[in-house]
Amino acid sequence: MYRRLVLFDVDGTLITDRGAARQAYETALHEVYGYSGDLRRYDFSGRTDPQITHMVLGDAGLSSGDIDSRMPALWERYLAALARNATADRVHALPGIPKLLESLSARPDVMLALLTGNIEPGARLKLAPPALNGYFPFGAFGSDSPRREELPPIAVERASQIDGHRFRGRDVVIIGDSIYDVRCGTPHDATTIAIASGKTSAETLQAEGPHYFFHSAEDLDAVLGAILSPPV
């Protein structure tokens, strides 16, 4: 039986949060670093939480050492604010996602996991309102590495620890809405599926050359076909 490890991004792929996370992050940046800049000029899509923090605060003139030394306090404040913000009226699964996850979770040849730039507690808070956490018993997160391209091997290793199967190359499927979701799979010969459900345009995503591209996850049969098709 040909098996697949299917790794989903969170923001813009599984859910939309109507600014809940960005507002929580802005609050935490101000409380911990005194940052009062305009975050609207930054596109966070596909970047890890530590990477975003270095990008924003580095532009503000802080040193890497100063940023890193206060990062634990930043995450503490961020998670507290996110827990208040990530409510059921703000966080929703994106169209097609519930049916897609239901279909995949019923298959014995598929293992589901997360691959996201979120620190793990933040990802879990975001996935709680639409009740998606249960589909993803493990994953690889921005709290594991600030470099997204290092996350696929972490997910593969965790999968092997669960059932002993070592997923390789194209049997690892990475699904996301940003160019970095595509790029992080390329060094590992993973199958990449780009879905234009986030902030990145369809044209930009297609230019990255993913193995498959979709405008949304609502085309269930086609998306399932892309995930389940043996590599050519």
pLDDT at residue 231, rounded to an integer: 72
Same domain, 25 and 9: no
| The last residue of a domain, from among 30, 64, 85 | 85
Tell me the CATH number at 143: 3.40.50.1000
pLDDT at residue 156, rounded to an integer: 97
pLDDT at residue 230, rounded to an integer: 81
Cβ atoms of 167 and 156 within 8 Å: the answer is yes
Tell me the CATH number at 60: 1.10.150.240
Count Cα neighbours of 49 within 13 Å in the Cβ-side half-sphere.
29
pLDDT at residue 163, rounded to an integer: 87
- 140 token code pair: 């690889």
Same domain, 8 and 24: no
| The last residue of a domain, from among 54, 70, 85 | 85
Same domain, 63 and 166: no
Same domain, 34 and 121: no
Could you list the residue range(s) of the whole structural domain that residue 159 is in?
4-17+90-228
* Ranges in the chain, pLDDT < 70: 1, 232
96 three-state secondary structure = coil
Same domain, 41 and 114: no
pLDDT at residue 232, rounded to an integer: 62
Instruction: Report how far residue 215's alpha carbon sits from residue 206's, in angstroms, rounded to the nearest whole number.
Output: 10
Which residues lie closer than 8 Å to 113 by C-beta, 6 or more apart? Answer: 5, 6, 7, 8, 136, 137, 138, 139, 140, 155, 158, 159
Q: What are the b/e assignments for 133-171, b being 16+ CB within 10 Å?
A: eebbebbbbbbbbbebeebbebbbebbeeeeeeebeebb
> For residue range 180-231, what is the model confidence (pLDDT) as tens digits?
999 999 999 999 999 999 999 999 999 999 999 999 999 999 999 999 988 7
